[in-house]
C-alpha cells in the first residue's frame, strides 16, 4: 500500500502534484477569470457583510491558516485573526454574526478544533470548514464545507494535506476578493494562471532531491536548526520547523527574520544550520541583511530562493531553488524542500518516520 515507497510520508510528499491538481479541479474558471465554489455560492452582499475572518486550527493546519490570513487580508482587505484552537476556545473569542470563522482540519476530528467551531457557532458566527475527510465531525457541524482533495493522509506528519489547505486558502481569497471587488481582474487572472502551473512546478521540484538529501545527511546530526523568513516565508518557516521537530527530533525554531535581533541571534554560533527563505521580493533586501547577520556569526546557511536568483547565492552556503510563481503562491512550492529536508534528516537519524514518538495522527483528546 506504500506503492514502492519506504514510508507513507515520502509517498504523500510525492502525491502533492496530484493532490493540489485535484483540489483545484472544477474550481477555476476556464478563462482564468476567477474562482468557482459551487459548495459556497456566496453573494456579493454576503461577502460585503463580513467584518472579520477568524481562522481556527491546530499544528500544521494552523500554519496553513497563517498563510490564509496573509492572503485573505491582502486580497479582500477584511481583517483576519488566526488562533490555535486550544487558545481560541477558552479565550471568549470576539466573533459574531458578522464574522466568518474558518476551521481548518485535515482529519475533521481534532477535539480542540471541533470545540472552537462550536464556540464560534454559539457566538453566532457563520462557520466554513476546510477539511480532507468527507462526513467528518467538523464537516458535519459547519455551515459550509470546502474539501481538500488530498486523498487519505496516513503519515502522522502532514504534507499533502497542508499544501492542499494552502490551495484552498488561495482559492478562497481570490473567490472572496472577486465578490468584494478588491482584486483587479489582471491579478485574479495572474493568480488563476499561477495556480494552474503549480502541479507541474511541484513535480519539477520533486524530480531533483539529491542536494536536499545531501544536506540532510550532512546536518542531520546537528541538535539545533533555525528557520528564518519574512512575510509568507515566515509562515512557511514555522511549518518547516514543525516538520523537522516532529519526525527527526531535532530541536528547531522558526523566527521571523526581523525578530532575530530581539533575542534569538544570541543562539546563532559557528556551524549552526540556518534555513533562510527568501522568496518574498517586497522584503528581499531586508531578508538579505538578515542572512548576512547570521553568516557573520558563522552559521551554515541554506537559502531557499527563486530559480535565477544570483544574488542570494553570494551570501549563503547552499541554495535550493524553487520555480518562479506568483508571490502569494510561493508557500506551496517552498515548503516542499523543507518537507524533504525533514524526511531525509529523520531517515538519516533512523527515526520512525511515519509514527513519531508521542504523537497521534488524529488528536481526539485534549
Ligand atoms: C503535524 C501534524 C499536526 C496536525 C494537527 C491538526 O504534521 O500533522 O500538527 O496538523 O494535529 O490535525 P488536523 O488537521 O487533523 O486537525
Task: For residue range 21-34, list pLDDT tens digits in order.
Answer: 999 999 999 999 99
Confidence (pLDDT) at 219:
83
Query: How far is residue 51's CA from residue 54's CA, in Å, rounded to a whole number?
Result: 10
Q: Which three cell numbers stand for residue 88?
A: 481560541
- Kindly give the number of the ligand 1 atom that is closest to the alpha carbon of 162: 10
pLDDT digits (tens, 9 = 90+) for 239-276: 999 999 999 999 999 999 999 999 889 999 999 999 99
Find, among 192, 175, 205, the residue nearest to 68 by Cα: 175
pLDDT tens readout for residues 278-291:
999 999 999 999 99
Residue 220 reports pLDDT greater than 90: no
* CA–CA separation, 88 and 85 (whole Å): 5
Most informative mutation of 9, 84, 110 for ligand 1 (most atoms within 8 A of CB): 110
What span, in angstroms and rounded, lies between the C-alpha atoms of 194 and 320?
20
CA distance to 9, 46, 248, per residue, from 348 (Å):
15, 52, 9
Q: DSSP states of 260-326 as a string?
A: GGGTGGGG--TT-EEEEE---GGGHHHHHHHHHHHHHTT-EEEEEEETT-TTGGGTSSEEEEE----
pLDDT over 90 (residue 57): yes
**Mean pLDDT over residues 162-188, rounded?**
97
The closest of 193, 172, 280 to 235, measured between CA atoms, is: 280
Strands 273-277 and 300-306: parallel
| Distance of alpha carbon 56 from alpha carbon 111, whole angstroms | 12
229 lines ligand 1 (CB under 6 A): no
Q: Is the minimum distance from the CB of 164 to ligand 1 under 6 angstroms? A: no
* pLDDT of residue 366 exceeding 90: no
User: Which of 61, 357, 358 is the pocket-test mutation for ligand 1 (most atoms within 8 Å of CB)?
Assistant: 61
Instruction: Work out the average pLDDT over 164-168.
Output: 98
Ligand 1 centroid–CA 6 distance in Å is: 22
State yes or no: pLDDT of 42 exceeds 90. Answer: yes
| pLDDT beyond 90 at 14 | yes
- The overall average pLDDT reported for the chain is 96
Residue 300 β-bridge partners: 273
Distance of CA 57 from the midpoint of ligand 1 (Å): 8
Instruction: Specify which residues 318 forms β-bridges with.
Output: 302
Q: Hey, what's the torsion of the CAs at 333, 335, 340, 342, to 10 degrees?
A: 180
Smallest CA separation from ligand 1 atom 16, residue:
105
Centre of ligand 1 from the C-alpha of residue 363, in Å: 8
Which ipTM was obtained for this model? 0.98
C-beta 325 within 6 A of ligand 1: no
Cβ–ligand 1 distance for 107 under 6 Å, the answer yes
Digit-coded pLDDT (tens) for 89-109 = 999 999 999 999 999 999 999
Active site residues per annotation? 361
Amino acid at each position: 500500500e506504500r506503492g514502492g515507497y519506504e514510508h507513507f510520508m515520502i509517498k504523500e510528499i510525492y502525491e502533492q502534484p496530484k493532490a493540489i491538481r485535484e483540489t483545484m479541479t472544477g474550481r477555476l474558471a476556464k478563462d482564468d477569470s476567477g474562482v468557482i465554489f459551487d459548495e459556497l455560492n456566496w453573494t456579493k452582499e454576503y461577502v460585503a457583510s463580513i467584518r472579520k475572518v477568524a481562522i481556527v486550527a491546530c499544528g500544521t493546519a494552523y500554519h496553513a491558516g497563517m498563510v490564509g490570513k496573509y492572503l485573505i487580508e491582502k486580497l479582500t482587505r477584511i481583517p483576519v485573526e488566526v488562533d490555535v484552537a486550544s487558545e481560541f476556545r477558552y479565550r471568549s473569542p470576539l466573533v459574531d454574526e458578522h464574522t466568518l470563522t474558518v476551521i481548518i482540519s485535515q482529519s475533521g476530528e481534532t477535539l480542540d478544533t471541533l470545540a472552537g467551531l462550536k464556540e464560534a457557532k454559539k457566538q453566532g458566527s457563520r462557520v466554513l470548514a476546510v477539511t480532507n475527510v468527507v462526513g467528518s465531525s467538523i464537516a458535519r457541524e459547519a455551515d459550509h464545507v470546502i474539501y481538500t482533495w488530498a486523498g487519505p493522509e496516513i503519515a502522522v506528519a502532514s504534507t499533502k494535506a497542508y499544501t492542499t489547505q494552502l490551495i484552498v486558502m488561495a482559492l478562497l481569497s481570490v473567490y472572496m476578493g472577486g465578490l468584494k471587488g478588491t482584486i483587479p481582474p489582471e491579478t485574479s487572472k495572474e493568480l488563476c494562471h499561477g495556480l494552474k502551473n503549480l502541479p507541474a512546478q511541484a513535480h519539477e521540484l520533486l524530480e531533483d532531491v539529491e542536494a536536499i538529501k545531501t544536506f540532510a545527511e550532512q546536518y542531520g546530526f546537528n541538535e539545533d536548526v533555525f528557520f528564518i523568513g519574512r512575510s509568507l516565508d515566515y509562515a512557511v518557516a514555522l511549518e518547516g520547523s514543525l516538520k523537522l521537530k516532529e519526525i527527526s527530533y531535532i530541536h528547531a525554531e522558526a523566527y521571523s527574520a526581523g525578530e532575530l535581533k530581539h533575542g534569538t541571534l544570541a543562539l546563532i554560533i559557528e556551524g549552526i544550520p540556518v534555513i533562510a527563505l527568501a522568496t518574498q521580493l517586497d522584503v528581499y533586501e531586508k531578508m538579505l541583511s538578515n542572512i548576512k547577520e547570521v553568516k557573520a556569526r558563522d552559521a551554515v546557511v541554506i537559502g531557499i530562493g527563486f530559480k535565477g536568483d544570483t544574488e542570494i547565492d553570494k551570501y549563503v552556503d547552499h541554495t535550493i531553488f524553487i520555480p518562479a510563481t506568483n508571490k502569494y503562491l510561493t508557500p506551496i512550492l517552498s515548503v516542499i524542500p523543507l518537507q524533504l529536508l525533514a524526511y531525509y534528516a529523520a531517515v538519516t537519524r533512523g527515526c520512525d518516520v511515519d509514527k513519531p514518538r508521542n504523537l497521534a495522527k488524529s488528536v481526539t483528546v485534549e
